[in-house]
Amino acid sequence: MGLAASQARFLGLTARKSNVEYEGQQVNQQRMALAEEVNSLYNKLLSLNVPVAPEATEYYSTTYTFEVTGTENLDGGYTITNYYKQDSGYHVEGTRTYSKEGATGKWVDGSTIAMEEIKDEEENVIGSKYTYKPIGSEDSIELTLASDSTSAKIKEYMQEEGAYKNVSAEDIQNDNLYYYKDAKTGVTYYFSQYQMDHKNDEVNPTNVYYYTIGNVTKTEPFEFNNATMGFDETTGRINSITPNNGEFAQKDVNATKTYDSAGYEAALVDYTMSKDEYNKAVADLNAQTESLQQEDKVLELRLNQIETEQNEISTEIEAVKEVLSKNIENTFKTFA
């Protein structure tokens, strides 16, 4: 091979080596990008919330109750919902359920209430009256206006029950109550004129109700400060309570352990759904990771090919260098 030919071959191999090195750099950059994507998928996998199966023991709760009798205004059944230690006792919260006199409202379903004009013999209007026709009755009953004192008492009960909706204090005060007494049962039924006059209107959208007086069940919150509480030494449960107000003496507390099966079943359903969603998310991330790993294997094979090609080019360059060196040496000897 002549000097010129050797030089041309050397330049070609050098250029080819540079191209191969550049291609190798590009492949390495692609592999680094794939590695970053795999790392991102791994971080997503770590950030997934792993669902935890509910424990049946978590759905057992202890309810503390006690009874109070013989007091002026504290009788009833008590349920403790919360308590915590204070300086000289316990702060206790809960609900009290008791019976008291009140008005119970019931919808006049299927009955008829009407206002009728009272006329004299000459058909002149001299007043009006309300009549009530109970279900199954052939005759209407004329309602009688209740006394002011009775009306005031019953309207107070009605307000406790929420009978007056969007009604001003003046309208409540001016509201007349009518009644009739059932001869068979002895029960007296009261009717509100305001409700009868405003049946289903925009001001007071309610149907007509009648109200009866009797014992009604009430539930209201209670709260004791610095109460004295006793605890069972074996179980640690509350077994007695004494309020600091002194209105009733120490009471035994009943502890009832209940199991919320519906809550546990609902939590189990939620867990199953969450587990399915988690497994799907993991499978999707694993599939994406597997795809990226396959791409990386292809690039790795290509990089191995480039490395082999680069070694071959380097070997050939060294051989061409030897030829060039000999050609230069022979040329200088000739001219010498």
Residues 96, 104: Cα–Cα separation, whole Å? 20
Residue 305 confidence (pLDDT) above 90 = no
Tally of structural domains, the chain: 2
Q: Please say whether the beta carbons of 71 and 248 come within 8 A.
A: yes
Task: Please name the residue that has the structure tokens 């396959």.
Answer: 294
* Per-residue CA distances from 45 to 33, 48, 292 (Å): 19, 5, 15
Is 32 part of a structural domain of the chain? yes
Residues 177, 104: Cα–Cα separation, whole Å? 15
Residues 111, 95: Cα–Cα separation, whole Å? 38
Beta strands per DSSP E along 138-208: 141-142, 144-145, 177-181, 188-192
Domain shared by 76 and 211, yes or no: yes
Residue 231 — very low, low, confident or very high, per pLDDT cuts 50/70/90?
A: very high
Residue 285 confidence (pLDDT) above 50 = yes
Domain end (from 215, 247, 279)? 247
Mean predicted confidence (pLDDT) in 324-330: 71
Is 65 part of a structural domain of the chain? no
What six digits make up the tokens of 148?
């002011």
Domain shared by 140 and 93, yes or no: yes
Mean pLDDT of the chain: 84
State the pLDDT at residue 68: 93
Element (H, E) at 300: helix 261-335
Residue 111 confidence (pLDDT) above 80 = no
CA 267 to chain centre: 13
Q: Is 285 helix (H, G, I), strand (E, B) or coil?
A: helix
Domain shared by 76 and 200, yes or no: yes
Of 323, 96, 94, the closest CA to residue 223 belongs to 94
Domain shared by 170 and 240, yes or no: yes
Domain shared by 45 and 81, yes or no: no
The percent of residues above 70 in pLDDT, for the chain, comes to 89
Domain shared by 168 and 88, yes or no: yes
Is 253 part of a structural domain of the chain? no
Domain shared by 97 and 203, yes or no: yes
Domain shared by 156 and 102, yes or no: yes
Residue 93 — very low, low, confident or very high, per pLDDT cuts 50/70/90?
A: very high
What six digits make up the tokens of 172?
């409540």
User: Best-predicted range by mean pLDDT among 52-56, 137-141, 277-281, 297-301?
Assistant: 277-281
Domain end (from 194, 217, 247)? 247
Is 276 part of a structural domain of the chain? yes
Domain shared by 228 and 315, yes or no: no
Any idea what the Cα angle at residue 126 is, between residues 142 and 211, rounded to 5°? 30
**pTM higher than 0.75 for the full model?**
no
Domain shared by 18 and 76, yes or no: no
Element (H, E) at 256: strand 254-259
Which pLDDT tens digit goes with each residue over 24-61?
Answer: 888 888 889 989 999 999 999 999 999 999 888 888 88
Residue 6 phi/psi, 5-degree rounding, is -65, -40
List the single range of 73-77, 207-211, 279-283 with lowest mean pLDDT.
Answer: 207-211
Mean predicted confidence (pLDDT) in 72-84: 92
Domain shared by 100 and 128, yes or no: yes
Is 260 part of a structural domain of the chain? no
Residues 285, 291: Cα–Cα separation, whole Å? 10
Is 60 part of a structural domain of the chain? no
Domain shared by 174 and 269, yes or no: no
DSSP class per residue in 224-280: EEEEEEEE-TTT--EEEEE-TT-SS--EE-EEEEEE-HHHHHHHHHHHHHHHHHHHH
Residue 201 confidence (pLDDT) above 70 = no
The total number of residues shown for the chain amounts to 336
Residue 174 confidence (pLDDT) above 60 = yes
Residues 73, 101: Cα–Cα separation, whole Å? 13
Is 257 part of a structural domain of the chain? no
- Domain that residue 274 falls in: 3-53+265-335
Residue 205 — very low, low, confident or very high, per pLDDT cuts 50/70/90?
A: very low
The percent of residues above 90 in pLDDT, for the chain, comes to 30
What six digits make up the tokens of 139?
């005759």
Mean predicted confidence (pLDDT) in 302-323: 81
Is 184 part of a structural domain of the chain? yes
